[in-house]
Amino acid sequence: QSVLTQPPSVSAAPGQKVTISCSGSSSNIGNNYVSWYQQLPGTAPTLLIYDNNKRPSGIPDRFSGSKSGTSATLGITGLQTGDEADYYCGTWDSRLNGGVFGTGTKVTVL
């Protein structure tokens, strides 16, 4: 169903770094800005990154975003137990003329 592909899960020890990939196509990531969202259990998603690499106020610089071609990446450094959550990428798809989200990635802190 999802147009954007993410790995189902990533894990690392506290203090380490993880990266989450988001793969799309020229009609979505390739020509539109990417956002990233964190969803803690039982809550609504919250915005982590917008416009590929910008952080809303209040989001620590441990979270970073980048984009290259038709893929985007979310990085989390200094991993904390509170970072255990599901992470989603999102963007606009110009061919579908609608929003699209990634399949989601569960981050586990070992």
DSSP state of 77: -
Does position 63 interact with other proteins (CB under 8 A)? The reply is no
Give the Å distances, CA to CA, from 56 to 24, 52, 99. Answer: 24, 12, 20
Site for other proteins in 73-92 (CB under 8 A): 88, 90-92
Please select the residue that binds other proteins; options are 14, 15, 56, 60, rule is CB under 8 A.
56
Q: What is the nearest approach in angstroms of other proteins to the Cβ of residue 5?
A: 11
Tokens 């209040």 correspond to 58
Does position 32 interact with other proteins (CB under 8 A)? The reply is yes
Please select the residue that binds other proteins; options are 23, 27, 35, 38, rule is CB under 8 A.
35
Measured CA to CA, the distance from residue 91 to residue 81 in angstroms comes to 28
Does position 100 interact with other proteins (CB under 8 A)? The reply is yes
Name which of 79, 91, 80 is nearest 34 in CA terms: 91
Does position 23 interact with other proteins (CB under 8 A)? The reply is no
Contact, 91 vs 4, CB < 8 A?
yes
Measured CA to CA, the distance from residue 51 to residue 32 in angstroms comes to 9
Residues that bind other proteins (CB under 8 A): 1-2, 32-35, 37, 44-47, 50-51, 56, 88, 90-92, 96-104
